[in-house]
Chain A
Amino acid sequence: MNDFMQQALAAASRSAPPWLEPLQARGREAWSNTSMPTRKTEAWKYTSLQALQKTFSAAPTQAAGSPLGDVPLPKLSGPTLVFTDGHYRADLSTTELPAGLRLVRFADATRDQAERIAAALGSAILPGRHVFAPLNDATLTDGVFMDVAANTRIETPVHIAWLTTGQNESISVTQRLLVSLGENSGATLVESFANTATGGTAFTNGLTELLIGRGAQLNHYRLHLEQGDVVHIGGVHARQEADSTLNGFHLALGSALKRIDLVVNHQGAGAHCSLDGLYLPRGTETVDYHTCIEHAVPHCTSRERFRGIIADEASAVFNGRIHIHPQAQKTRAELSNKNLLTSNKAEINTKPELEIYADDVQCAHGATVAQLDPLTLHYLRTRGVPRDEAEVMLSYGFINELVEAVEQAELQAFLKPLLARRFARDSRLTRHIL
C-alpha cells in the first residue's frame, strides 16, 4: 500500500453503528489488497492520481455549525438532506416525506432497516469494478438509504446534498447512498456535490447504488458542482430489473480532479437506461467519466449522450463501454460523445469501447472532437451579433440540447443560468440565452 492508501484508512473514523463493522472490516481487507491504479492501468491511462499525493486527514467528528455561504445548490420543493463533511445537518434539511418514501440515515437505522441495508450494500457493484469501493466500505460511518415502496410514484424530487466546508487542512470524506425502488414505483432523485466558497481541499469518495425493481422508473440527477482543489472519486452502480427505466443526468463542473464511474447492469429483460452527461473543465482541471452498460439479458435498450466543453489547459476523459453478453439478443445500444475544445491546450481523450457477443443487436456509437466552427461564428456576426456573444451562444448551444432535456423543471431553471455563466461572467453576453 502506498502512503495515500494507508493514510486513508488511518483517517477513517471508527464511530460507525456496530452493524456496519463487518462491512468496514471487509472493506479494510479488500483495500489492503488493492493496487493503486497508475497510468499503466488501462482504465486510468489518461487520469493521474497525483492529486492524492498529499495528506488528507479525517473529517472532523462534529459537524461544523457554520452557515453554508453561497454554495450554488438547486432549490427543490421536495425533501432535502444536507451533509457537510460527511455529517448530517438536521438544521439545513427538510424531511417531510410523502407516503411510500423513506429516507433512512445509516446512523439512525432500526434493526430491521439495518439488516436490509447491510444485505443490500455493495450488491449493485460488480466484483472488482470500482477500485475505490473498498475504501468507501472501510471508512463508512453514515449514509442514506432511500426506499420507495412498490407501486408508489413519488412526485416531488428527493434532494441529497453532499457538501464539504472550508477547512484549513485537507480532509477526506466518505459519502454513500443506497436507493431501492420497489416494483412499479417511480421517483426522482437529485444528488448535488459542492464545496463552500471559502475552499479547502477535500478528497471525497461518493458511492451511489441504485436497485431499480421490476417496472420501476428512477430519474437520477447527479450534479458535481465542486470547484477548486476538491478531488472526487466516485461512482454510480445501478442494477435494473425487468422493464425498469433509469434516466440519468450527470454534470461535472471542473475541480482539481473528478473521476466518476457509471455502471449499469441490466438484469431483467425490457430494461431501459438513458444517461446524459455534461463535463465542463477549465483552468487545469480534470474530469474523467467512465461509463459501462452491461447488457446481460435480452430486449434491453440503452442510450448515452455525453457532451464536454474543455477550456484553457483542462483535460477530460470519456470512456464509454458497452458490453453485450452472448444471451443479450435484441439489445439496442446507442452511445454518442461530442466534445468542444475552446483552447489549443485543452485535451480530450474519448474512447467508445464495444464488446459485443450477441449477433442480433443494434449498436451505434460515435465520438467527435471539434472547435467552434469559424463559419458558424461568422454567420452570427453577419447578423450583427458581437463575436464574444456569438462565442457564448455557440458554446451554450453545444450543450443546450441536453439541458433542455432535463425534465425536472426546478432543476432546469437552476442549471440554465449556472451553465450559461460558465461561459461568460458578463450578463450582457448571456442575456439572450437566459
Chain B
Amino acid sequence: MPVENGCGLCKVKIEDMGVVKGRDVLLENVNFEMHCGQLTAIIGTNGAGKTTLLRSILGEIRHEGTVAYESHDGKVIKNITIGYVPQHLEFDRFSPVSVMDFLLAGQSTRPVWLKPDKKIKERMLLALESVGCSGLENRMLGDLSGGEIQRVMLAQAINPIPELLILDEPVSGVDMVGAEQFYQQVSQLRKDYHMAIVMVSHDLNLVREYADTVLLINKTVLKQGDVNEVYNSAEFRNTFGGGI
C-alpha cells in the first residue's frame, strides 16, 4: 500500500468558506480538513448546503475563503488532480453516447468519432473492469442501470488517479446491493491509492460503516469527528431526531 499519492498531497484545508446567493446565505464560516487515505462523509438535512460545499471545493461556484492543498511537510501544493462523480445523473437517456465515447471524451482531445488511440482505449477497458463493468463499453450510457452509471462515472473519475475524489450522493436512486458495492469499491480506492475522498451521503448506515471522518453541516459545520463522536452528539440528534 503506497503511503503517498501522486503529488504528495497530505491534506485539504478548507478555511472560512462562505457562499451567498442573492440574499440567501448558503454556507458561512466553514472550516475543516480532509486527509489523504481517509473517507470524509458530509451529512446533513436537505438544503443544508452539502452539494454547494462540494461545488465550492471543485471551484464551480464563487465562494469566500480558501481551499488549500498541503503536503506532509506543510508545503502548499498548487494543482492537484480532482476526480468527481456527480449526484445521480440526470441526463438525456436517448442521447447516442456509448460508455466508451463517454470515457474517451474525458481522457483525450481526439474527437471520439475518430478511431480511438489504442493505448487509451485499453486503459479505459481496464478501468471498466476495475469497477466491475466489463463488457459495457459499447452500450449506450442511457441504457445502463443507476448503479452501472455511477460505476462508469467512477471509472472516469479515477483516471488519471486523482489525489482528491469528490462524490456527491453517488448512490441515491441506486438499489441497496449496488450501493453497498459502490461503497466497497470507493473504500478500496482509499486504501490502494492513498487518496482523499469526500462524499455527500444520505445513507447514515453506509456512512457509519465506511467513513473515517464525518462532517455534520447545516450552513456551517455543526460537528466533526469520527463516526461515533458525531453520531452520539447532541447536534446529530437535533438534526436527525435521535434514531437513524
Partners in one complex: no
A-to-B contact residues, CB < 8 Å: none
B-to-A contact residues, CB < 8 Å: none
